[in-house]
């Protein structure tokens, strides 16, 4: 580890194989927490490269405890966290809207690390299980078109790293790669990141990981979700090529709201917001989800424009299809728990 740290201190970037070797060392019991903290900090100060991020993600997926069977046409939608916005659980709510619109979603999430309430905190409060087996995840995707994967169940070897990450109190490479370590082979993805300067880099990483089509975005106010507060910066990955887009909510027929209007709270508050949105309560929470779902449908290739995606997302909510996906997920969780008992 000393050798790898020295390279980082000198500003030297790693090849993909070197990064895998370094991360493999980080996972070893004999590697101290101070070495982990030094590595993550030095890497952040140097600046993470496409090869380094790809190497880290590939190694973590190879070492995952959870190996699901291949499922075709699956999407993930997730923000990296780290934006400090304290928003409600936008991507979690959006996942139900996408499933209601006919998109298969395998959402990889966690409890709160850099925000007040993580996706799994809210799902747990709603009665959605966090400990599904790989066969149950596959069954949920086939039956319901929607499954949630709880990161600590998938990556049990990361306990030490996650402890250090929490103690550092600053975003690291792990804030950027959480949504990429989904053990399901994802075909399309909407990835929100808190760093606008990393949009192109993360799009190239998604290409290296085999995504057929994807959008990486940084919202107005540097949110890791699409925001109604102004211009949102996007990079579209399609057929191995990237292109940059800027979209304002006006272009999708949506109103402008300050980011302060979409703040969340604890798990109970955010669960209430999620339910209100899926039941169609008008306001900034609903419009923010519709905006994100519209961009996700565009990223998935289900629609050719974001405006078309927004229309389809609204239909998913108004028809009751999105709320029905939540009910089906909760019912499946309850049946699964009864089997264990």
- Binding-site residues, please? 79, 82-83, 87, 89-92, 107-115, 119, 165, 224-225
Distance (Å, rounded) from C-alpha 54 to C-alpha 108?
A: 17
| Binding positions for anthranilate | 79, 110, 165
| Binding positions for Mg(2+) | 91, 224-225
Terminal Cα distance for the chain, rounded: 45
| Binding positions for 5-phospho-alpha-D-ribose 1-diphosphate | 79, 82-83, 87, 89-92, 107-115, 119
User: Are the C-beta atoms of residues 189 and 95 closer than 8 Å to each other?
Assistant: no
Q: From residue 109, how far is each of 76, 130, 137, 212 by CA, in Å? A: 10, 10, 14, 22
Tell me which residue of 264, 226, 287, 270 sits closest to 123, measured CA to CA.
270
Tokens of 173: 């490479």
CA 59, distance to chain mean position in Å, is 18
Distance (Å, rounded) from C-alpha 131 to C-alpha 134?
A: 10
């Amino acid at each position: 580890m000393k050798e790898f740290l020295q390279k980082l201190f000198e500003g030297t970037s790693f090849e993909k194989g070197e990064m895998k070797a370094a991360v493999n060392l980080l996972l070893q019991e004999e590697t101290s927490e101070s070495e982990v903290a030094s590595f993550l900090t030095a890497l952040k100060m140097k600046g993470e490269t496409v090869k380094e991020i790809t190497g880290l993600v590939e190694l973590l997926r190879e070492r995952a405890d959870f190996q699901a069977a291949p499922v075709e046409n699956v999407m993930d939608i997730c923000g990296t966290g780290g934006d400090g916005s304290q928003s409600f659980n936008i991507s979690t709510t959006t996942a139900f809207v996408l499933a209601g619109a006919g998109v298969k979603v395998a959402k990889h999430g966690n409890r709160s690390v850099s925000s007040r309430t993580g996706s799994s905190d809210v799902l747990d409060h709603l009665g959605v299980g966090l400990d599904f087996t790989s066969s149950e995840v596959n069954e949920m995707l086939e039956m319901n078109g929607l499954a949630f994967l709880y990161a600590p169940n998938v990556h049990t070897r990361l306990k030490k790293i996650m402890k250090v990450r929490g103690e550092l109190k600053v975003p690291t490479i792990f804030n950027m790669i959480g949504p990429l370590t989904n053990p399901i082979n994802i075909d399309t993805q909407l990835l929100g990141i808190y760093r606008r300067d990393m949009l192109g880099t993360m799009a190239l990483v998604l290409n290296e990981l085999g995504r057929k089509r994807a959008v990486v975005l940084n919202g107005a106010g540097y949110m890791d979700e699409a925001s109604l507060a102004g211009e949102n910066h996007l990079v579209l990955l399609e057929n191995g090529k990237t292109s940059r887009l800027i979209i304002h909510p006006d272009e999708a027929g949506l109103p402008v709201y300050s980011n302060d209007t979409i703040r969340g709270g604890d798990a109970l508050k955010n669960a209430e917001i999620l339910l209100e949105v899926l039941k169609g309560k008008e306001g900034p929470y609903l419009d923010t989800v519709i905006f994100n779902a519209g961009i996700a449908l565009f990223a998935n290739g289900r629609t050719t424009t974001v405006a078309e995606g927004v229309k389809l997302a609204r239909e998913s909510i108004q028809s009751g299809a999105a709320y029905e996906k939540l009910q089906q997920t909760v019912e499946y969780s309850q049946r699964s728990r009864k089997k264990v008992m």
